[in-house]
Structure 1
Amino acid sequence: MQGATMALAAARSGLTPLVVERGKVGSGATGNSYGIIHGGLRYLQGLSIGRWRRSRQAQAWFLDNYPDHVRPLACAMPLYRHTMRSPMAFRAASALEACLYRGTGLARRLPGLQLLGAEEIARAYDLPRRHLVGAALWHDLVTDDMETLLRTILADAGASGASLLEETVAGDLIVADNRIAGLKVTRADGTVQEIATPRVAICAGSWSSRWPQEPQAASTAALAFNLVLDMPFPGDAALAVSETPGKGRSYFLRPYEGGTFAGTYYRPAPGAREPEVMPADIDAFLEVLDRALPGYGIAEAGVRAVMPGLLPDTDGTGRTLSAADTISAPGPAGLCHVLGSKLTTAPLLSIDAAQRLWPEEARRAA
Structure 2
Amino acid sequence: MRSWQTIRSALWVSLFYCVSSQAADIKSIAILTPEPGTDFGWNQQGIDAAKAAGEKQGVKVMVAENLGYGDVRPAMRDLIDDGAQLLIAHASGYNQAAPEIGAQSKVPVAVTDSPAALKAGMVADYTVSGHEGAYLAGVLAAKMSRSGTLGMVVSGEPPSWNAQSNAFIRGARATKADIKIRYAVIGPAAYSDAAGGKRVTTSVIAAGADIIFGQGNGSSFGMLQAVETAKAADGGKVYFIDVIGDKSKIDKGNLLSSVLWNLTPVFSAMIADLKADKYGSHNYKTSLADGSISLLKTTHIPDDIWQSVDQVKQQIIAGSIKVPAEYDAKSLHDLLNSGKS
Relative to the length of structure 1, the TM-score reads 0.25
**Structure with the higher strand share, 1 or 2:** 1
Relative contact order, CA 8 A, sep 6+: which one is greater? 1
**Structure with the higher helix share, 1 or 2:** 2
